[in-house]
Amino acid sequence: MSTRINVTVNGLQYSHMVEPRLLLVNYLRDVLRLTGTHVGCDTSSCGACTIHVNGKATKCCTLLAVQADGCEITTIEGLSHNGELHPLQEGFNECHGLQCGFCTPGMIMMAADLLQHNPQPTEESIRHALEGNFCRCTGYQNIVKSVQYAAEKMKMSEAVH
């Protein structure tokens, strides 16, 4: 029994018939072919699949596509605008916040959620916010610095505007 869903992903509207058991992450990856969102585990632990659903960081391996009907979704592919990188995307490059890159999209999407709630986070609050995102390469230190870089950059651009 397929069900119709209507979703907005990265500003574009989509309408598809989907099986209820289709996970949102597989809808994004296999149907829309937005493969920046990754699957790293099967227990909602690793956070590689983190996206924003209605503005909230979400592990989309633990959501059915049908649950997202009517929702606004942002994936890593939708984070930069008009070719301009998001300060987090810039920060991860500046501070060497990634190595293999597999956890990076989820890490950035989680950090983006944090910076919306808390534009000037402490080191401790960054580490706490990223507790649901595993990285096996970096030891997290440069990820924390990348988020700090982005927070600083966003504060500065706020001051300019």
Partner 1 sequence: MSTNGLIGRSVKRVEDKRFTTGHGNYTDDIILPQQTYAVFVRSQYAHARIVRVDTSVARAMPGVIAIFTGADLANVNGVPCGWQVNFKNGDTMKEPKHPLLVADKARHVGDAIAIVIAESKDQATDAAEAVEVELEELPCVVDAYKAVQPGAALVHDDVPNNKSFDWALGNPLEEVKEAMDKATHVTTLEFVNQRLVPNAIEPRSYNSSYDPVSEKYTLYTSSQNPHLIRLLMCAFVLGIPEHKVRVVSPDVGGGFGSKIFHYTEEALLTWCSKQLNRPVKWTSERSESFLLDAHGRDHVTKAEMGFDEEGKIVALRVKTYANLGAYLSTFSSCIPTYLHGTLLQGLYTTPKINVDVTAVFTNTTPVDAYRGAGRPEATYLLERLIDLAALEMDVDPADLRFRNFIPPFDGVQQPGYQTQVALQYDSGNYEGVLKKGLEMVNYPEVRRAQQEAAHNGKLVGIGFSTYIEACGIAPSAVVGSLGCRAGLFEVGQVRVQPTGKVSVYTGSHSHGQGHETTFAQIVADKLGINLTDVEVVHGDSDSVAFGMGTYGSRSLAVGGSAIMKSIEKIIEKGKKIAAHKLEASADDIEFASGKFTVKGTDRSIGFGEIALTAYVPHVYPKDLEPGLDFSSFYDPANFTYPFGCHIAVVEVDKETGKVSLKRFVAVDDVGNVINPMIVEGQIHGGVVQGIGQALFEGAEYDENGQLTNGSYMDYCMPRADDLPMFETASQVTPCPHNPLGVKGAGEAGTIGSAPAIVNAVIDALWSGGHKVKDIRMPLTSERVWRAMNELIS
Partner 2 sequence: MIPVAFDYEKVKTVEEAIAALSGDDLKILAGGHSLIPAMKLRLSRPGKLIDIGGITALKDIKEEDGEIVIGAGATHADIMYHNLIRTHLPFFTEGAATIGDMQVRNWGTIGGSLAHADPAADWPAMVLAADATIEMQGVKGRRNIKATEFFTGLFATVLEPNELITAVRIAIPPDGTKSTYQKFAQPASRFALAACAVMRFPDGRTNIAFTGVGDHAFRDTGAEQAISGKAIDDASVEAAMLAALQNVDVMSDHYASEPYRRHLSKVYLKKALMAVKS
Residue numbers at the binding site for partner 2 (CB under 8 A): 1, 3, 19-21, 23, 42-45, 47, 50, 56-59, 61-64, 66-67, 69, 110, 113-114, 129, 131-133
Least Å from the CB of residue 121 to partner 1: 12
Instruction: Copy the structure tokens of residue 115.
Output: 């910076």
- Token duo for residue 112: 């983006």
What would the x/- binding string for partner 1 be over residues 24 to 43, using CB under 8 A?
-----xx--xxxxxxxxxxx
DSSP string covering 16-28: EEE-TT-BHHHII
Query: In whole angstroms, how close is the CB of 143 to partner 2 at the nearest point?
Result: 15
Residue 156 in the binding site for partner 1 (CB under 8 A) = no
16 DSSP assignment: E
CA distance 88 to 93: 9
Residue 39 CB coordination number (10 Å) = 16
Side chain identity at residue 151, one-letter code = A
Angle between helix axes 87-94 and 104-117 (nearest 10 degrees) is: 120
- Specify the stretch interacting with partner 1 by CB under 8 A; choose among 64-72, 112-120, 142-150, 152-160: 142-150
SS3 of 79, please?
Answer: coil
Residues that bind partner 1 (CB under 8 A): 19, 21, 29-30, 33-43, 45-46, 48, 75-77, 79-80, 85, 88-89, 92-94, 96, 98-105, 108, 123-124, 126-128, 130-131, 133-144
